[in-house]
Chains A and B, each alone.
Chain A
């Protein structure tokens, strides 16, 4: 027998109480949508309908923005930083207390493995609120001028890959700085944002400070284009980011955009190979590769190419794909049929353009949306799989001979979100970090996040930073 058999170890979903339908969270309570139709959110692992969710139309969005404005003018804006801090600490603690439930809900709605939602997403969500809670009463020390002021109402649109974590990245700094928010979660993953609305109620957060409007692109567009918002924060595709940047032209709205990426993960011949292989796997297969900063272009120095590829393939053969709620699972479900179609299409293009495709033997469930971990070799810089964001568990491998060539290839992309460097030599790490045009450079690690650490991109990966005191600055007038 060449491999262990794993007994299934499913996390119980009994801890989560999913309602059959949800309204919009406006002005502190759940209300029916007035001008949109309900839509369904499904579990991508089984295609089971989890709940029916309201679609907010322009009138609903208007109501939410007005509620946020009232809360900003009357309550949240004038409130002492000390008290805003206390509300955020309450929220952080409630998230810690309900984290098991939220992790299960996230895995159900998104398809990500429970091991990740439990050990990565939820701890980071709580930590984010904890970190920014501490800033709420210290704004004058944040380096954004002596008398920093909030902007007003923030319109926030977030993606489906880290639903609750992206919510935390948006809401925590906005509230700490004294803004109120209207947030739209992605249409395929609205449930943890709605659970967060309940947490706002449990924390006795004043009505209107946080408003959650569910819906798809149309709702998001109505929100960011609303005249009553002072700030737009968006995380998602570069195409949508571009259209937002266009639509706010000529207004006074401040904008931050966190968009796509095509990160180079660069392996030098002196890198510790086993550790590097783990980093490559984490870089591209973490969260099914639904990560804007995923290390989707592997650049390997020619002298170690054979060894790295052999070990990488061996390691990929041990990855377990399947039930997101099983604690043994490494790779969960692709978030939607639409995304699966996109991954399949680009992978086909990869083959058609002449790259060689390989996946380990791997049984996929028959229900739901699945894609095996995949690596393409013989990829050239001109191939679409080396240029476009696939946003799935698909790795493209290229080679290089000199550090200068590695830099040249790594920077040969319209994106600039992140990069990875693997080498034993500290001076080379720092030299590479200097040369790389990317907002985050990980050395001998990958996909690390911390609320104190700014994150965001160069070039077409967007502008502005989230996390750290720089993330706070995005919500302050100074």
Chain B
């Protein structure tokens, strides 16, 4: 017999991957238990496999042409939209960051503020990057000569293990704002804010495939991404072992990926330009001048 009660039983969410604009389970059928910082069960997350990583690279490559061809103004508008939609989910992000990182809500909120503000900061870079890092070159001859930055392609991001949302934002936003597309492997133990960020992306006019989010182990998936011949750059941020990082960097050498080595990071610091310029190619164009 059902009993009458004031307490409503909550509907729990199934956490999935975010690939090509859709939310599939892992092709491997695997999932793993995600606990909060105190060890209490939060959810099962999909555990992405080698095949999922390859699917994500395919999706990212497919999205690259369209995303990189958009006007910088338009990419800026889309990134700003991400910030707007995150603002509406501020409470949800704060609760998830608090649970994931073992913080009080009061301490989690400023991290969410900083993550949203960081999307706004990077949104503004979209149409300024070429003006700051490009140039017109006064060559010694009758030539018009200018250099413009372009996106490098598909970027694999092994997101930080500690900072579940701010750290993730700090590695993802600078990669995609310039027109790259990304495959992200989230923090293994703190994946839930990343999955929610995927839901924000899906509803913020970000084209499917621009950001692909895989929950699971960077140690397991990293080598497949580092050696993938259709990945152009890799950020090893989430790799904690120096030996592993060295092996991944060596694997990345095969197709001369641009590699960002792991380093101590203070995610609350002003980011500077290095993550933006990491994933850019500079193109110099010459044209003769004369009647």
Q: Is B188 an interface residue (CB 8 A)?
A: no
Docked-complex contact A141 and B132, CB < 8 angstroms: yes
Query: When the two chains form the complex, which single residue of A136, A403, A430 contacts B288, counting CB atoms closer than 8 Å?
Result: A430
Q: How large is the interface on A (under 10, 10 to 19, 20 to 34, 35 or more residues)?
A: 20 to 34
Docked-complex contact B125 and A134, CB < 8 angstroms: yes
Number of A-B contacts (CB under 8 A): 69
Residues of A within 8 A of B77 (CB): 130
Given known pairs A130-B73, A141-B273, the reply for A85 and B288 (CB within 8 Å) is no
Q: Is B128 an interface residue (CB 8 A)?
A: yes
Residues of A within 8 A of B126 (CB): 134
For the complex, give the distance between the alpha carbons of A403 and B124 in Å: 42
Residues of B within 8 A of A468 (CB): 131
Q: Is B101 an interface residue (CB 8 A)?
A: no
Docked-complex contact B291 and A130, CB < 8 angstroms: no
Docked-complex contact B128 and A135, CB < 8 angstroms: yes
Q: Report A403-429 CB contacts with B as 1/0, cut-off 8 Å.
A: 110000000000000000000001110
Query: A410 to chain B: closest CB distance in Å?
Result: 14
Stretch in B43-51, B53-61, B115-123, B247-255 touching the partner: B115-123
Q: Is B279 an interface residue (CB 8 A)?
A: no
Given known pairs A82-B117, A89-B80, A452-B131, the reply for A427 and B124 (CB within 8 Å) is no
8 Å CB interface, B94-144 against A: 117, 120-121, 123-128, 131-132, 144
Docked-complex contact A131 and B291, CB < 8 angstroms: no
Q: Is B76 an interface residue (CB 8 A)?
A: yes
For the complex, give the distance between the alpha carbons of A138 and B131 in Å: 13
Docked-complex contact B128 and A86, CB < 8 angstroms: no
Residues of A within 8 A of B76 (CB): 130, 134
Q: Is B12 an interface residue (CB 8 A)?
A: no
Query: B274 to chain A: closest CB distance in Å?
Result: 13
Residues of B within 8 A of A133 (CB): 124
Q: Report B49-85 CB contacts with A as 1/0, cut-off 8 Å.
A: 0000000000000000000000011001100100000
Docked-complex contact A428 and B128, CB < 8 angstroms: no
Q: Is B287 an interface residue (CB 8 A)?
A: yes
Query: A436 to chain B: closest CB distance in Å?
Result: 13
Question: Which of B76, B127, B273 is most buried by chain A, counting CB atoms within 10 A of its CB?
Answer: B127
Interface of A is mostly: helix
Docked-complex contact B287 and A85, CB < 8 angstroms: no
Residues of A within 8 A of B273 (CB): 141
For the complex, give the distance between the alpha carbons of A135 and B123 in Å: 10
Residues of B within 8 A of A138 (CB): 121, 124-125, 128
Name which residue of chain A comes closest to B129, CB basis. A141
Docked-complex contact A427 and B132, CB < 8 angstroms: no
Q: Is A175 an interface residue (CB 8 A)?
A: no
For the complex, give the distance between the alpha carbons of A452 and B125 in Å: 12
Name which residue of chain B comes closest to A132, CB basis. B124
Residues of A within 8 A of B290 (CB): 427-428, 430-431
Residues of A within 8 A of B132 (CB): 141-143, 469
Name which residue of chain B comes closest to A407, CB basis. B291
Q: Is B289 an interface residue (CB 8 A)?
A: yes
Q: Report B258-291 CB contacts with A as 1/0, cut-off 8 Å.
A: 0000000000000001000000000000011111
Docked-complex contact B128 and A141, CB < 8 angstroms: yes
Given known pairs A138-B128, A452-B128, A452-B131, the reply for A434 and B123 (CB within 8 Å) is no
For the complex, give the distance between the alpha carbons of A295 and B76 in Å: 32
Residues of A within 8 A of B131 (CB): 452, 468-469
Q: Report B178-212 CB contacts with A as 1/0, cut-off 8 Å.
A: 00000000000000000000000000000000000
Docked-complex contact A426 and B287, CB < 8 angstroms: yes
Q: Is A232 an interface residue (CB 8 A)?
A: no
For the complex, give the distance between the alpha carbons of A469 and B80 in Å: 20
Query: A272 to chain B: closest CB distance in Å?
Result: 19
Q: Is A331 an interface residue (CB 8 A)?
A: no
Residues of A within 8 A of B117 (CB): 82
Q: Is A158 an interface residue (CB 8 A)?
A: no
Residues of B within 8 A of A89 (CB): 80, 120
For the complex, give the distance between the alpha carbons of A85 and B126 in Å: 15
Q: Report A20-31 CB contacts with B as 1/0, cut-off 8 Å.
A: 000000000000
Residues of B within 8 A of A166 (CB): none
Docked-complex contact B127 and A131, CB < 8 angstroms: yes
Query: When the two chains form the complex, which single residue of A134, A142, A469 contacts B123, counting CB atoms closer than 8 Å?
Result: A134
Name which residue of chain A comes closest to B272, CB basis. A141
Q: Is A137 an interface residue (CB 8 A)?
A: yes
8 Å CB interface, A282-297 against B: none
Docked-complex contact B124 and A134, CB < 8 angstroms: yes
Residues of B within 8 A of A143 (CB): 132
For the complex, give the distance between the alpha carbons of A135 and B288 in Å: 34
Query: A38 to chain B: closest CB distance in Å?
Result: 40
Residues of B within 8 A of A86 (CB): 120
Given known pairs A89-B80, A427-B291, the reply for A452 and B127 (CB within 8 Å) is yes
Query: B122 to chain A: closest CB distance in Å?
Result: 9
Query: B44 to chain A: closest CB distance in Å?
Result: 38
Name which residue of chain A comes closest to B132, CB basis. A141
8 Å CB interface, A352-389 against B: none
Residues of B within 8 A of A136 (CB): 124
Query: B113 to chain A: closest CB distance in Å?
Result: 10
Query: A431 to chain B: closest CB distance in Å?
Result: 5
For the complex, give the distance between the alpha carbons of A142 and B124 in Å: 13
Given known pairs A134-B125, A452-B131, the reply for A85 and B120 (CB within 8 Å) is yes
A-B contact pairs, 17 of them (CB 8 A): A82-B117, A130-B77, A131-B127, A131-B128, A133-B124, A134-B127, A136-B124, A137-B124, A138-B124, A138-B125, A141-B273, A427-B287, A428-B290, A431-B291, A452-B73, A469-B128, A469-B132
User: Which 3 A-B pairs have CB atoms at the shortest separation, nearest pair first?
Assistant: A134-B124, A430-B289, A427-B288
Name A's B-contacting residues (CB within 8 A): 82, 85-86, 89, 127, 130-131, 133-138, 141-143, 403-404, 426-428, 430-431, 434, 451-452, 468-469
